[in-house]
Amino acid sequence: MARTVGSHGPKTTEAIRKAGLKLIYRHGYEAMSLRQLAAEVGIQVGSLYNHISTKQDLLFDLIRAHMEALLLELDRALAIVGDPVTLLRAFVSFHVTYHIVRKREVFIAYSELRSLDPNHYEDIVAMRRRYESRLIAILEDGCRHHMFEVQDCRVAAYGILAMLTGVCTWFRPNGRLSRETVIEIYSQQVISGLRPAGD
Amino acid sequence: MARTVGSHGPKTTEAIRKAGLKLIYRHGYEAMSLRQLAAEVGIQVGSLYNHISTKQDLLFDLIRAHMEALLLELDRALAIVGDPVTLLRAFVSFHVTYHIVRKREVFIAYSELRSLDPNHYEDIVAMRRRYESRLIAILEDGCRHHMFEVQDCRVAAYGILAMLTGVCTWFRPNGRLSRETVIEIYSQQVISGLRPAGD
Amino acid sequence: MARTVGSHGPKTTEAIRKAGLKLIYRHGYEAMSLRQLAAEVGIQVGSLYNHISTKQDLLFDLIRAHMEALLLELDRALAIVGDPVTLLRAFVSFHVTYHIVRKREVFIAYSELRSLDPNHYEDIVAMRRRYESRLIAILEDGCRHHMFEVQDCRVAAYGILAMLTGVCTWFRPNGRLSRETVIEIYSQQVISGLRPAGD
Amino acid sequence: MARTVGSHGPKTTEAIRKAGLKLIYRHGYEAMSLRQLAAEVGIQVGSLYNHISTKQDLLFDLIRAHMEALLLELDRALAIVGDPVTLLRAFVSFHVTYHIVRKREVFIAYSELRSLDPNHYEDIVAMRRRYESRLIAILEDGCRHHMFEVQDCRVAAYGILAMLTGVCTWFRPNGRLSRETVIEIYSQQVISGLRPAGD
DNA sequence: CATGAATGAGGCTTCATTCAT
DNA sequence: GATGAATGAAGCCTCATTCAT
């Protein structure tokens, strides 16, 4: 008397991840129920457990996958030759683009950090630090070459990251400003903000 | 962890608000149960309802009170005479200070927006817009006087707000940098970022 | 919209214990669902948790209470002056009576031992050992006075306990044999079994 | 803990029976899940159904097989010529030996009776009665020949069975007492318990 | 014969809320 | 104003079982 309708086969796992991403983004991890998730996927609640081991594990999985992709693609984006300003432009461009395109992954990776188990939390925070350190390194290099002038590279980096990340809060794909324009505006604002006093 | 002797008299309501703030900040609105809240206050669950009408109402109450205070104090902070740069400095100083001092209120006013009922949500978003518009106005005034040069004042403002707000994520009261230093760094970075190209 | 029917007041806790005893006896701890239990009591499932903290705790509570009563009443039953035979008769009489009257408590205290958490398990086993040691002491005393003759008092005691405890498996209050008769039969059989060879 | 390489071929059915015996003995029928069972065997849950028709049927199968073997081997053990005392000794020896060697089968055949479907239950109880009747017959024969003196042969038999069966609760193969010694002790205790008053 | 994915029922437990005392 | 006990819904998760591949 089993199985009459619903999702089948190995695609179900991917459907669950997709639906989980959507619902966690919209309602938050705590507020998303597995009932909702199952309904979104079109299967019974119990069937979820053929694909995930735990609600918590689904969250971790989504965030970890995102962080891994983020780090990998950052590597690619920064695999260029150029002075610190050029690298900083590349960073801004990459960060904004990624945060617009992967808006939901990015959002939950920030906002649901506190919903992670302690161990999972540590893993993700470590990955996030690796990401931040790439920007800090660029700023430090720029300071060494007197192209930037900042009191504290770490604080400056945090400010830049917050500014750029904020984009995914308000950016609308078909809104007034194109992605390229936003990148241009923020590149300008960021680089100006770091210019040595006399320039 | 909780008070062992129960809270009494008219102070209980305030104790509930305080405990609610703490717990929502730490665990999130969805994840905080009224049991936890009552335990933190040192009363029984049922007794909460002598002071709040609903869990949702407690949340709204906390956020609204915060937004009202924020707007009121911003008015005071900007009630000075000066050019746009001076006003912008005042804004940065106020925003950073407030976001450091009222870290928890600020955080939940952002992160729990989505937990608000639609009506409540609209109310709060309207207040937030009033706040943002004060910064946008400063930037627009600065552009008119050619003290700033930005393609889009709204986008610039969003960037600045995100950068400054990010402070409450990493700032530690007794950390490496004092509040004044952070304000100085960010004022510099923000104003530099808006300078006309030639300056 | 709360509370319209069902059990009220402080009597509910006792009703839950009683119903729990009945259902665990009948179906076993694992097989008894809290749905059943709540239905038997006449309340909603969730309401159980105003009175018990856990299904496991209910089980432990029932067994511990039984063991405590058992030990206490054994003390009373053996608080007499007499030779080992007299004491043994008193033990048999007490054990059989208690195991007939508290048939259900006795049964689950044996059969659900394995359903106890490790810690709870240890507690109960320790109590059971104290009970057994009372019988062993009687046998040892009897051997010292040459009124009994057994190769191994512990093994003999285990045999006696098993025999007597078996009563609660088949005894029926209004059956062919009265309680007194059963006690008489078993006293005879037990004491004969321990007689020195020559007697 | 489980076999890492899956069980194959016609031996799987036997592996399931063996694992079922072990797990039901350890956790009880209700508490054993088919997931556990499959893991113990080293196959997937669904694969169990190629070998058993139902969890309930597995239980019945194990118990029935045990009872059949028990009755068959009792027949062999009592296929001797001798007076009632000799036969009783043979019974005690057989019962204790079997209950020590087949400890787990014996245990679940008692403790999981209540987990059997009504029909299955009746079948097993009938077999158990056949077993008990063999002992009762010996006692009755002994009484007729004035070698035993008991008020009620059935009750005496129940007591003896309980005593002997208790052995499988505490007997340890390499413990203080050998199997032979235990048999000797209990034979002595049982037969003494039935001696006519004057002997 | 084994697998993996599905089902629907049900497991224990917690939830926000109500209300008589 | 506080309490404790009630409600009904919902939480996550596991269950035995089925069946296409």
Q: Which residue of A has its CA nearest to B96?
A: A159
Same domain? C60 vs C140? yes
Are residues B24 and B59 in contact, defined by beta-carbon separation less than 8 angstroms? yes
Q: According to the model, what pLDDT value does residue B139 have? A: 97
Asked whether residue B131 is assigned to any structural domain, the reply reads: yes
| pLDDT range class, residue C94, cuts 50, 70, 90 | very high
Residue C169 and residue D158: Cβ atoms within 8 Å? yes
pLDDT at D6 over 70: no
Distance of B12 CA from F2 C1′ (whole Å): 11
Three-state SS string across chain B, please? CCCCCCCCCCHHHHHHHHHHHHHHHHHCCCCCCHHHHHHHHCCCHHHHCCCCCCHHHHHHHHHHHHHHHHHHHHHHHCCCCCCHHHHHHHHHHHHHHHHHHCHHHHHHHHHCHHHCCHHHHHHHHHHHHHHHHHHHHHHHHHHHCCCCCCCCHHHHHHHHHHHHHCHHHHCCCCCCCCHHHHHHHHHHHHHHHHCCCCC
Chains with ≥3 CB–CB distances under 8 Å to D = C
Enumerate residue ranges in chain A where pLDDT < 70: 1-9, 198-199
Nucleotide with C1' nearest the C55 CA: E12
A-interface mutation test, from B163, B168, B183, B195, most A Cβ less than 10 A away: B163
Same domain? C91 vs C188? yes
Domain of A32, CATH number, reads: 1.10.10.60
Query: Which of C43, B156, B113 minimizes the C-alpha distance to C13?
Result: C43
Q: According to the model, what pLDDT value does residue B9 have? A: 56
Q: According to the model, what pLDDT value does residue A20 have? A: 97
pLDDT tens for D117-129 read 999 999 999 999 9
Touching pair B, D by Cβ (3+ pairs < 8 Å): no
Amino acid at D42: G
Q: Which residues of B touch A153 (CB under 8 A)?
A: none
**Number of helices followed by number of strands (H, E) in chain C:** 9, 0
Q: Which residue of D has its CA nearest to C107?
A: D111
Domain of C158, CATH number, reads: 1.10.357.10
Asked whether residue A43 is assigned to any structural domain, the reply reads: yes
From CA C56, how far away is CA A114, in angstroms rounded? 31
Same domain? B152 vs B93? yes
Same domain? A131 vs A151? yes
Asked whether residue C95 is assigned to any structural domain, the reply reads: yes
Q: According to the model, what pLDDT value does residue A3 have? A: 39
Across the interface, which of A165, A181, A192 has its CB nearest the CB of B162? A165
Touching pair C, B by Cβ (3+ pairs < 8 Å): no
pLDDT at D58 over 50: yes
Residue C185 and residue D150: Cβ atoms within 8 Å? yes
Residue D185 and residue C155: Cβ atoms within 8 Å? yes
pLDDT tens for B87-125 read 999 999 999 999 999 999 999 999 999 999 999 999 999
Same domain? D38 vs D62? no
Across the interface, which of D152, D181, D189 has its CB nearest the CB of C177? D152
Mean of pLDDT values over B30-34: 96
Amino acid at C176: R
Same domain? A2 vs A93? no
pLDDT tens for D9-55 read 578 999 999 999 999 999 999 999 999 999 999 999 999 999 999 99
Residue C160 and residue D155: Cβ atoms within 8 Å? no
Q: According to the model, what pLDDT value does residue C151 have? A: 87
Please state, for a pLDDT cut of 90, what percent of chain B lies above it.
85
Same domain? C142 vs C74? yes
pLDDT tens for D180-193 read 999 998 898 889 88
Distance of A35 CA from E9 C1′ (whole Å): 15
Q: Which residues of B touch A159 (CB under 8 A)?
A: 163-164, 166, 185-186, 189
Distance between C197 CA and the closest CA of chain D, angstroms:
8
Distance of B44 CA from E19 C1′ (whole Å): 14
pLDDT tens for B120-177 read 999 999 999 999 999 999 999 999 999 999 999 999 999 999 999 999 889 999 999 9
pLDDT tens for A123-174 read 999 999 999 999 999 999 999 999 999 989 999 999 999 999 999 889 999 9
Asked whether residue A145 is assigned to any structural domain, the reply reads: yes
Same domain? D35 vs D67? no
Q: Which residues of D touch C152 (CB under 8 A)?
A: 177, 185
Q: Which residues of A touch B143 (CB under 8 A)?
A: none
Mean of pLDDT values over C138-159: 93
pLDDT tens for D101-119 read 999 999 999 999 999 999 9
Are residues A167 and A92 in contact, defined by beta-carbon separation less than 8 angstroms? no
Distance between A151 CA and the closest CA of chain B, angstroms:
7
Nucleotides of F under 7 A from a protein CB: 1-20
Distance of C34 CA from F5 C1′ (whole Å): 18
From CA B25, how far away is CA B102, in angstroms rounded? 11
Distance of C115 CA from E13 C1′ (whole Å): 19
Nucleotides of E under 7 A from a protein CB: 1-20
Residue at which a domain ends, from A34, A52, A70 = A52
Q: Which residues of C touch D164 (CB under 8 A)?
A: 159, 162
Are residues B164 and B92 in contact, defined by beta-carbon separation less than 8 angstroms? yes
Nucleotide with C1' nearest the D47 CA: E2
Asked whether residue C199 is assigned to any structural domain, the reply reads: no
| pLDDT range class, residue B197, cuts 50, 70, 90 | confident
Domains of chain B: total: 2
Same domain? B92 vs B188? yes
Touching pair A, B by Cβ (3+ pairs < 8 Å): yes
Same domain? D93 vs D21? no
Residue A190 and residue B194: Cβ atoms within 8 Å? no
Q: According to the model, what pLDDT value does residue D8 have? A: 53
From CA A127, how far away is CA C181, in angstroms rounded? 78
Asked whether residue A199 is assigned to any structural domain, the reply reads: no
Q: According to the model, what pLDDT value does residue B168 have? A: 87
Chains with ≥3 CB–CB distances under 8 Å to C = D
Are residues B181 and A151 in contact, defined by beta-carbon separation less than 8 angstroms? yes
From CA A91, how far away is CA A139, in angstroms rounded? 11
Asked whether residue B63 is assigned to any structural domain, the reply reads: yes
Distance of B55 CA from E13 C1′ (whole Å): 21
Angle CA C97–C99–C104, to nearest 5 = 135
Same domain? C65 vs C43? no
Q: Which domain holds residue A85?
A: 54-194
| Residue carrying the six token digits 């063996």 | D18
pLDDT tens for C34-50 read 999 999 999 999 999 99
Across the interface, which of B31, B151, B189 has its CB nearest the CB of A30? B31
Q: Which residue of A has its CA nearest to B194?
A: A189
From CA C28, how far away is CA B26, in angstroms rounded? 42
Q: Which residues of C touch D185 (CB under 8 A)?
A: 150-152, 155-156, 159
Q: Which residues of B touch A156 (CB under 8 A)?
A: 185, 189
From CA D81, how far away is CA A184, in angstroms rounded? 107
Contacts A–B by Cβ distance under 8 A: 99
Q: Which residues of C touch D148 (CB under 8 A)?
A: none
Asked whether residue B181 is assigned to any structural domain, the reply reads: yes
Distance of D104 CA from F20 C1′ (whole Å): 38
Q: Which residue of D has its CA nearest to C24?
A: D114
pLDDT at D7 over 50: no
Residue C162 and residue D166: Cβ atoms within 8 Å? yes
pLDDT tens for B1-23 read 344 444 455 789 999 999 999 99
Same domain? B182 vs B91? yes
